[in-house]
Structures are given as C-alpha cells and as structure tokens.
Structure 1
Amino acid sequence: MPLTTEFTHLLAVRHPIALAPMGGIAGGALAAAVSNAGGLGLVGGGRGEADWLDRELALVARHTERPWGVGFLTWAIGPEAVDRALARRPAAVMLSFGDPAPYAERIRAAGALLIVQVTDLDETQRALDAGADVLVAQGTEAGGHGGGRATLPFVPAVVDRAGPRPVLAAGGIADGRGLAAALALGAAGALTGTRFQASREALNAHAVGQALIEGRGDDTERGRALDIARGGDWPDRYTARTLPNRFLEQWRGREDELRGDAGALSAYRAAAARQDPDVVPVWAGEAVDLITDLRPAGELVRAMAAEAEGVVGRLGRALQ
C-alpha cells in the first residue's frame, strides 16, 4: 500500500519522494520521469538562464500530466526568472539558499505551492514567515551546496518548528530505508539528489555517472575551492560537497591563494570547458555508497517507494 502523507495529499502525488532541483542536471526529462512514476519532479532552474529554462520547462510540460515543479537558487535570480517559470504553470516552485520573501506572493498568486529549502533554524523561521507551504530540511550530508547541520537531528527540529506544514528531509537519502527513516523523524517525505543524478535521464556526462557508481561517502568533502575556480559567486556560508579530484587535491586549504591566482583560474576554466575529469565537479552526497548502477529515474522512484513501504510494514509488525 502506498505511503500517504501530508506531502502526497498536498501535491496530489502517489509517493512522498521529490527530485532535488539540481541546476544543470535535473532537466525536463528527469523531472517528467520522476513525476510519471508518482513522485514530484523538480526542474533545476538554477540561476534562471532563460534559454535553458524555456527548453527544459517545455520538455517537462510535454512529457507529463502529473504535478511537477521548478527550483531556483534564491540568491542568484530576479523576478523575471520566477515569472518565466510560473508562465508554464508548475504545481510548485522551490527556493533555496536565500530569502524567499521577495518571491513568495507572486508564486502564491500564480496558484503554485511554495517550497523552501532550509539549512538552519534561522532560515526555517524565515521560510515560515514567508508563508512556505512545504519546507525542505537539508542536512550537511547532501551533495552539492548546503549548510552544516546533520540530517538526523536537524529534520525533527524543523518538523517541530513547522507545525502542520509538511517537511521533506534531504541529505544522505538514496534508498527506501532513508525514506522510511525520514518518515520516522516526522518528515512527510524525502527530497533526493545524488541518487537521481545517477540516472539515465540526468543531464550528466557519462563519466560523472560512472564516478558516482565508483565513489565512496568517505571520500566526499565540503569546500569552496571549486566555486572560487568557477567564479560561482556563491555565498560563503554554503559550501559544496563533492567527490575529490586532482584540482581539489592541489588547492585544498589554499582557497585564499586561489582567489588571487589569475593563471590558475584561467587554466581551470579552460579545462572545465573541455569537461576535463580532473577539474569538473562531481556533486555527491554521503549516500553515494548506495549507488551501484545507472537506472531510469522512474524505476528508482518505484524501487525507493517499495522498499520504504516494506520497511514501514516490517516495523509495524515488529511493534505489534
């Protein structure tokens, strides 16, 4: 029997599973596949680049009739990016890493739900004050950018603050066991990134998918060197978790020196443009150990949901 929660009721989805809107990775095909399988697919709108956004939102709208949404980096966008997405009539808009208040009213006025990702309790209160319909409590185990709170204690703290509003757990969740654990913490579902990055529909180079299969959670690390090299302008408070590469090994602990080395920055960007695996970031959470293959995203959704249902069922029988 499918697991039903406040999140599945609110979004009219079958499973309490959402795709993390990974910028440049979670395109329209991946979001549609997750939605068609019964989860909530979220296109990674990132900084709101217009041509990319138009192409990928058209793709998801064309390939699913189920609810879907789009996510943005709040600190990096303006109202025009949000309006561009809202014109496609998404079921939800997710905002991460910044103040959601300037965009909350226009999202609600368009009939979309507002999902806000938070990394600490101050951000949690700000999201609640902005009227978020759903919160995502992201633990530091997550791949890509995030904060410093661990998922296990952070999720229930956000659940207690959120009251009746549903909370999704994120960070280190890559299978049905993680989803079941999130539900046990009081969350209404899970938002998953790294596991879906290792899917057939993700907009990754093949080498990235292979690196995720071979990667180990022990090897992932948080840092700023790759953002400095890319010229990403990310707020310093949000570091990024990645698998190691040769560039990180060279510049680890030398971030201030890197900022001022024009030659190293130019060499990095030239290598990144060639997709050199020694420099290209492979965003990966600590649950990368659980990834052993590349599969269609819909298959991943169904497998995660079935495993979680089995775990919850076994726990229920054990308690009886």
Structure 2
Amino acid sequence: MPLSTAFTTMFGVRHPIALAPMGGSAGGELAAAVSRGGGLGLLGAGGGDPDWLARELPIVAGAGKPWGVGFQTWAAGTAVIEQTLEHGPTAVMFSFGDPSPYTERVREAGAAVIIQVTDLDEAGRAVDLGADVIVAQGTESGGHGARRGRSTLPFVPVVVDLAGEVPVLAAGGIADGRGLAAVLALGAAGAVIGTRFQATAEALVDPSTAKALVGGRGQDTERNRVLDIVRGSRWPSKYTARTLGHPYLDRWRGREGELAADPAAARLAYRADVANGDVPPLPVWAGEGVDLVTDLPPAAELVATLSSEAGRALARAGRG
C-alpha cells in the first residue's frame, strides 16, 4: 500500500521518496527511472554545466512523470536556471547557499521551490523565502554538507516543528525502508536518498565506484576537505564532503591547513598521482548508510522496494 504524505500529494507521486540530486551521477536516466518508479527524480546539475544539462534534461523531461533539478546554489547562475526552466520541471531544489536570487523566477515558471538546509538558521530563512518543501540534511549524508551540522534523527523533528505546514524531507544516512520509516515517524513527509541510488543500474558512476559502494562500510566514511583542496574544487570551506577511504585522507588527515597554504602544489601532486595510477581518479562519495548497499538494482524497482520496506517497518512499530 502506498505511503501517502503531504509530499506525495503535492507532487502527485506514489512514494515519499526523492532522488538526491548528486552532481554528475544523478543524470537523466537515473532521475527518469526514479520518477517512473513513483518517486521524484531530481537531476544532479551541480553548479550547472550547460552542455551536460542540454544532454540530460531532455531525458528526464521525456519520462512524462513529475521531475526536478537540483543545484549547488553557490555555483549556479541565472543562465542555467533559465535553461532548466525551459524544460518545464516540476521542482527546482537549491542546496548550499542563498537561493533568494532565483526563487521568484522558479515560481513564475510554475515549479515548486525545494530548499535544503543544514542548520536552523538556514531552515528559518527557507521558511521566510516561502519554500514549498524543505530538506533537512544531517551530517550522515554522503558528499557535501555542513562542517558543523547535526545528525539526521535529532535535526529532522526540530526542522519539522519550525517549518509548520511546509513539508520537510529528511536527508542523510537513509539507505533502506527502515530509515524512511524512521523519518516519517519523526514527522518528515518523505526522504531524499542519495548513496543508495548511486548504486543502481542507471547511475552515472564508474563501475569501480559502484563496486566500492556495494563493498563499503559506514565506519570507513569520513567527512573532510582534503579531497576538495587537492582536486582544486571551488566548494566553500564551510562545507566538507563525506567519502569512503582514500590514500590522500590517510596522508593529510588533520593537516588541511598545510594543504590550503599551497593548494597549487597540492593539485599538481594529486594530478601526478592520479596519472600514475597511485590514487583513484575520483573520490567515492558515500553516506554512513552505505553498509546497507548490497546490490545494483534498477532504480524504479528500488523505489518500490524502499516504500514497501517502510510500510512493513511502520506496521511492525504500530503493533508495539
């Protein structure tokens, strides 16, 4: 039986599940598959590469189901927002930065505004901006998040109380139906799920990344800035990234200041190590729930599985 929430009603979807708009790996095929499976597929636009968007937007838009696009707010711009809106998304999600320059334009285009927050100050601003949906991201999440954030379970209900009538989705460490059930019990209207969907048939990831996720353990994930610095990433320093283990983490753990003092030299050394095959070409972004990733299913099938698992978990809890 489908789980009906304010989120499913707002977007006309069957299941209270949204695909985390993971930059690069959440391409058109993955977002379309999640939408066809009854969730809300969100394309991972990152900062907005026009060529990448031109290729991936028609794929998800052509699925004929509710869909959206997620941007790294600090890196996005008006041009790529307009490019996205031309395809008629159901929603646009903003994370990590001030989305106020874009929210009215998104609403004018008829799309819902989803704002991801990492603390209560951001949550309050999202309410003030009139967010249609707020995503409360905990520190368990894979990829980037707040350096000084809060864990998902204590953070979500506080945001729910603050948001009032605005539906809240939980993000961070949710990788099976039990996690979805837990956040629904906390008052969330659904979950934004990333790592679990990164390990699916349609994800735009290298086979080595998929293999690492299936074999990964939450205790081997780590939140840091080392890989952003050595890769020359422009991510603001207030955001760190959770990844699986990497040789550069072992080499530079606790010495981020040294790397940041001479980032050009760090980048040269890193690129040389990548070229020589001494380190993997890309970090493996993974949340603490990665232990629960054991296979690479089709994404549409996974949506239904997660929702069914959540329903059973809630039923068990209701039996006391």
Class of the TM-score when normalised by the shorter of the 2 chains: over 0.9
The one-character-per-residue Cα deviations of 1:200-250 (angstroms, maximum 9, x if unpaired) are 111100000110111110111100011111211211111100001112111
SS at match of 1:309: helix
- 3-state secondary structure, aligned to 1:236: coil
Classify 1:273/1:159 alpha carbon distance in 2 versus 1 (closer, same or farther; 3 Å). farther
CA deviation map 1:19-69 (0-9, x unaligned): 00000100000000000000000000101110001111011122x111000
Q: For residues 134 and 313 of structure 1, do their structure 2 counterparts lie closer, same or farther at Cα, with a shift above 3 Å needed?
A: same
Shift of the 183–22 alpha-carbon distance from structure 1 to 2, 3 Å rule, reads same
Shift of 1:154: 0.3
Structure 2 CA distance for aligned equivalents of residues 227 and 113 of structure 1: 31
Matched residues in 1 for 2:220 and 2:177: separation? 23
Offset, 1:271: 4.8
Counterpart of 2:227 in structure 1 is: 226
Going from structure 1 to structure 2, the CA distance change for 1:28 and 1:274 (only over 3 Å counts) comes to farther
Asked whether the 8 Å contact 1:16–1:189 carries over to 2, the reply is yes
- In the alignment, the residues of structure 1 paired with residue 57 and residue 277 of structure 2 have an alpha-carbon distance, to the nearest angstrom, of 25
Partner of 2:249: 248
Q: Which moved more, 1:269-278 or 1:20-29?
A: 269-278
Instruction: Quote the Cα distance in structure 2 between the aligned partners of 1:277 and 1:297.
Output: 30
Where do residues 7-86 of structure 1 align in structure 2 (5 Å cutoff)?
7-62=7-62, 64-86=63-85
- 2:207 partner letter: H
Check conservation: 1:258, 1:265, Cα contact below 8 A: no
Q: Distance in 1 between matches of 2:145 and 2:315?
A: 32
Matching of residue 105 in structure 1 with residue 104 in structure 2: yes
Partner Cα separation in structure 1 for residue 88 and residue 278 of structure 2: 38
Aligned mates of 2:123, 2:4 — CA distance in 1: 24
Q: State the Cα distance separating 1:267 from its structure 2 match.
A: 3.0
Residue 119 (structure 1) aligns with: 118
How many residue pairs end up in the alignment? 317
* Residues 302 and 273 of structure 1: CA distance in aligned 2, closer, same or farther (over 3 Å): farther
Aligned to 1:189: 190
Cα distance between partner residues in 2 of 1:290 and 1:208:
16
More displaced stretch, 307-316 vs 84-93: 307-316
Q: Is the 8 A contact 1:120 1:149 kept in 2?
A: yes
Whether contact under 8 Å (1:247, 1:279) holds in the other structure is: no
Paired residue for 1:313? 315
Residue 137 of structure 1 is matched in structure 2 by 136
What is the match of residue 294 of structure 2?
A: 292
Length-normalised TM-score, structure 2: 0.96
Residues 116-143 of structure 1, C-alpha deviations (whole Å, 9 max, x = no match): 0000000001111111100000000000
Q: Decide which of 301, 304, 308 is 1:302's aligned counterpart.
A: 304
Match of 2:156 in 1: 155
Aligned to 1:166: 167
CA contact (8 A) 2:229 2:266 kept: no
Contact 2:45 2:53 in 1 (8 A): yes
Q: Scaled by the length of structure 1, what TM-score is found? A: 0.96
Which piece of structure 1 moves more, 231-240 or 40-49? 231-240
| Mapped partners of 1:209, 1:77: distance in 2 | 28
* CA displacement at 1:279 relative to structure 2: 5.1
Tell which deviates more after alignment, 254-263 or 293-302: 254-263
Q: Distance in 2 between matches of 1:273 and 1:193?
A: 29
